[in-house]
Amino acid sequence: LSMTEIRAGFTAIKANIQSRDPIRTLSILSHPHSLHKVKSADRCCITHQLFTFYVDKVFKHCRTEDSFVNRKISSIANSFLSARRKLGQCREQNNCMCGEESTEKFKQILANYEGLNVTSAAMKSLGELDILLDWMEKAR
């Protein structure tokens, strides 16, 4: 998983994407529960759930009128797809167990997402990719 590639892709479109999210008072990933409070035992599971969340619910709803931005989004999406496949292999070998806390936390993330209309929720989630990347890098 090339975090550097994903990070570079996101940095290139961050201002554009975040400017499409006018809602400052809600977060999908960081409130009310912060990813940084996830116990290490739950990290693999939460990461796999979040990759699935981004692949299944976010990227497909993030088309813009800007072809440069769209290209960056699809390259990030491809990186997520391959990363999810690798994490899926971990889950098959039972190395990525989901505890109660991670299940609860992921439910909250889905609730935050479903609290908005699809396009707003997807664009907000994409704009929060650095929250996910910051957490993954710190946890590494």
* Residues at the site binding another protein, with contacts judged by CB under 8 A: 3-4, 7-8, 11, 15, 18-19, 24-27, 30-31, 34, 36, 127, 130-131, 133-134, 137-138, 140
Stretch (H or E) spanning 50:
helix 40-53
Q: How far is the CB of 94 from another protein (least distance, A)?
A: 28
Of 49 and 112, nearer to another protein (C-beta) is 112
- Minimal distance in Å, beta carbon 93 to another protein? 26
Phi-psi region of 94 (alpha: psi -120 to 50; beta: other; left: phi over 0): left
Token duo for residue 35: 């990813």
In angstroms, what is the minimal distance from the CB of 87 to another protein? Answer: 18
Other CB atoms within a 10 A radius of the CB of residue 112 amount to 21
Quick one: which of 137, 109, 126 has its CA closest to 69? 126
Q: How far is the CB of 9 from another protein (least distance, A)?
A: 11
Preceding peptide of 22 cis, ω within 30°? no
CB 126 within 8 A of CB 62: yes
CB atoms within 10 A of CB 60: 13
Q: How many C-beta atoms lie closer than 10 Å to residue 64's C-beta?
A: 16
Q: Which is nearer to another protein, 75 or 98 (CB)?
A: 75
Nearer to another protein, 34 or 89 (CB): 34
Residue 25 vs 40, nearer CB to another protein: 25
Beta carbon nearer to another protein, 3 or 97 = 3
Smallest separation, CB 92 to another protein (Å): 28
